[in-house]
Amino acid sequence: MSTERQPLAQTIEQQVERLTAHVHAPGEALRSEDIFRDDGYSGATLHRPGLDRLRDRVKEATIERVIITSPDRLARHDVQ
């Protein structure tokens, strides 16, 4: 299903550009280590390197907020 929707959805690069512009708009900085990507991994699993790193940073309380383009970017509704 994800493959069928992909032409309609933004690419990962487009999502990153959109979110970077959102953060930069009020003059905030965004460090490359604060971008969590899982290129090539399916959102149908919760075991992904970028998501694991994000969870670790949240657990360490080194992140104030998480900005995503859509909740399904973190996980699909039928995550296994």
| Distance (Å, whole) CA 65 – CA 61 | 10
For 34, phi then psi, to 5°, come to -100, 10
Q: Nearest to residue 24, comparing CAs of 34, 9, 36?
A: 34
Q: In this model, does residue 5 exceed pLDDT 60?
A: no
Q: Where are the domains of the chain?
A: 2-73
Type of residue numbered 53: R
Residues 41-76: tens digit of each pLDDT: 887 888 899 999 999 999 999 998 999 888 777 776
Residues 10-46: tens digit of each pLDDT: 788 998 999 999 999 999 999 999 999 988 888 788 8
